[in-house]
Chain A
């Protein structure tokens, strides 16, 4: 803000052609100097992020693919294995079960998460005092700020078959005690519920934002035309909300495919392998059994799965998502 006094333009006619030219030249010089300064500044500003991303994300992706073609236990030198790791994990029952478990978990968790979030977001958006709305909104997104690992420790008590409050609560409405953590289906259900409990607030926030973007007039017009509650929501709210639904489901699926803390703490993958997820297998193969090549191969497969599911979703969405 220093050289303000030069700025006020003198009448053009006073200046000679020569001074105008020399001014142009000096301006050009200034611009190139400024361009050089800009590029230097850009390089400095970008360096931490770009170097960091290359070292800690890009190279590791390449590294994962390369490692997946070697057999390596850290102690001995790596040995070329070709696709042997892939052949091995694709016939390994634990790995296959973990993919099955993760997919089952993903379908259940994302469906429940979106359903709860959608119903609650629409309900919260109904008529009520402002303070009440913000109390509800805070309550529903509160679990998001907690540590999944710590809260899973708590969930382990809550889901205990004999002295857990969950079964006690179900008992008060006449439901017989459920073997949450000791049966295969019960364990999966407990992991899903613990996960959904913590995560639905994320979709909820997205839906609340999406609902606020729907013009009020649309609903008013529908009401005047005699559309009732449920029909109005099915016919109007959902289509208008479909871009948000797409985002919520894409992010929900990507996150669900990476589930780790809940099964690790709550069930340790059991009983048997019934709640062992892909990320648990990566962790155990690499850091407990020191089979880095195989673990990398599982990681690469998970990455491919995530990419494929996301791409599929965007393809499908072209038919079902309505942009205003």
Chain B
């Protein structure tokens, strides 16, 4: 792990500051202090949001900011629940995100398996097609996608958000790599035993795919829970808004100028599931993000 440690320091005793200044340029305590400061700056906006949401609106802008509220109150939260239908937006967000995550796990799992373990014609060009679409930015295709959905009658419906997100080029790629990493002998042994292609998939490989599917699911959840651009374009009715659109931003006022500090409780509420995923699924999330980059 520690690539810059010295051969002599493996004993476990800390090198003296003078020595390490020569070797690292910085003393270990200075390095750690610097990192701690950076971590604080990174988490600062989040801490500020949470603490502000617990202040009364009048005290939200006290400077220096009081990180720990002197008299914590949920007034601001009550205000948010009174003004906007948080439960409805949360339900919409949950529905959309969960269905997309499950949908992507299914489509990516199946297609990834086909590309990794089944033989068929046009396999290479089809796979190249899937890979190529990974490069296409969503914003470039959004106008025709909007028109397609309009023609299907799916604009301003939750389904219009969900269905186009089912196919996932990256997820397919990831699952293909995942299935390729499994020993080929397993499937061959089952085939010699007379198992058909479906049996081989169902009983041999599919049960081993859970960790890979977890990566696809966690990435999908993280991305679509926070998604803003597509819902902004597709959903016009208040009852179809998702949390990022509905919580921080009052309906119909999507890019409003100055707004009341009551939006911080909304932001906090929309953060909660993301934080849960961060804590529970940190490992698949990290692996997914890393491979998202490495495999481009």
Contact = CB atoms under 8 A, between A and B. Distances in A.
Interface string B136-160: 1111111111111000000000000
Given A142-B43, A145-B277, A147-B244, A56 B1 contact: no
Contact of B164 (A52, A63, A144, A149): A52
Interface stretch (B70-78, B79-87, B106-114, B209-217): B106-114
A142 to B, nearest CB: 6
Interface in A1-27: 1-4, 7
B296 A140 contact: no
B192 A148 contact: no
Contacts, number: 334
A150 B167 contact: no
A60 B226 contact: no
B195 interface: yes
B24 to A, nearest CB: 4
Q: Quick one: which of A49, A141, A212 has the most chain B CB within 10 A?
A: A49
B274 interface: yes
A223 B194 contact: no
A142 B248 contact: no
A168 B65 contact: yes
23 contacts: A2-B193, A39-B120, A49-B110, A50-B167, A52-B107, A53-B169, A57-B169, A63-B144, A123-B31, A125-B1, A133-B1, A146-B46, A146-B226, A148-B228, A149-B226, A150-B226, A150-B270, A165-B44, A216-B3, A229-B26, A258-B139, A287-B146, A287-B233
Interface of A: 1-4, 7, 34-35, 37-39, 41-46, 48-53, 55-61, 63-64, 67, 120, 122-128, 130, 132-133, 135-136, 138-151, 153-155, 157-158, 163, 165, 168, 197, 201-202, 205-206, 209, 211-212, 214, 216, 219-220, 223-224, 228-230, 232, 237, 244, 247-248, 250-251, 254, 257-258, 260-261, 264-265, 268, 279, 282-283, 286-287, 292, 295-296, 299-300, 302-303, 306-307, 310
Name the 5 nearest CB pairs between A and B, nearest first: A52-B167, A63-B144, A229-B25, A147-B226, A60-B141
